[in-house]
Amino acid sequence: MSNNTINREEVEKFNKIAEEWWNPNGKFKPLHKFNPIRIEYIKNNIIKDFNISSNDKPLKGISILDIGCGGGLLSEPLARLGAEVVGIDASKKNIDIAKHHLKKSNLKIDYHDKSPENFNYEKKFDVILNMEIVEHVENISKFINQSTKFLKNNGLMFIATLNQTLKSYLFAIIGAEYILRWLPIGTHDWNKFVKPENLENICKKNSLVLKRIDGVKFNPLLDKWKLSNDKSVNYITKYKKG
């Protein structure tokens, strides 16, 4: 098994469509629709765990490392909520897009084209995000291990990914890529999807304790994503470093 977490084929896939990151009707349209539920989930759980009083900048003073940040779709809204955000991504093209968009946004985010194992950073973070990234890496155990070293004790790690089930194959690949054309064909590899229990076992070895797991489901009538008890396709988790 590779000691490097970067999957060059996966990086190249995203390089090809990097220009599309901030187009809400482009190749990343599903992610734009997915973003509100991700932001709400992260924000609400941070407020709860860090006992923050809710205000217009509820994440003020919270340091966040967004791993696999892409073009900054999640980094920017969290910075707007007051968080001190650092974003890293293995694709230089993604980081260039993120930096370019940042100029228009009047926000302060520190972006680096690095993967966790070659990111040298002294500081540790209150929160680490691994959102829709673990199904694209080369060695998930190494990836979680390298990500965890940047997390403070009692810090939170959020991981969102796809379950490895027949339903996820039908919905996330056949449905989303081939029938609905929500995503470019080949975006996902079902063999890289991760069962929640496998993810939990990897996390346990890195002193991460599962605190919450929720399914995330698309409601076509409302045209938006919502939390669900159904974890058979998309799911999101909150881990705490003990």
pLDDT reading at 208 higher than 80: yes
CA dihedral of 94, 97, 103, 109, whole degrees rounded to 10: -10
Q: With contact defined as beta carbons under 8 Å apart, do 159 and 134 qualify?
A: yes
Taking CA atoms, 203 is separated from 4, 64, 191, in Å, by 18, 19, 19
8 A C-beta contact, residue 98 and residue 123: no
Query: What are 22-54's pLDDT values in tens digits?
Result: 999 998 999 999 999 999 999 999 999 999 987
Query: Quick check: 2 pLDDT over 80?
Result: no
Which whole number is the average pLDDT over 158-166?
Answer: 98
Maximum average pLDDT range among 1-5, 9-13, 140-144, 176-180 = 140-144
pLDDT (0 to 100) of residue 1: 41
Decide if pLDDT at 162 tops 60. Answer: yes
The yes-or-no verdict on residue 220 having pLDDT over 90 is no
Which amino acid is present at 113?
A: D
Closest CA to 204 of 159, 168, 242, 167: 242
- For the whole model, what pTM was predicted? 0.94
pLDDT-based confidence at residue 176 (cuts at 50, 70, 90): confident
pLDDT averaged over every residue in the chain: 95
Given a contact cutoff of 8 angstroms between Cβ atoms, the answer to whether 168 and 188 are in contact is no
Write down all domains in the chain, each with its CATH number in brackets.
8-241 (3.40.50.150)
Q: What's the rounded mean pLDDT across residues 168-191?
A: 89
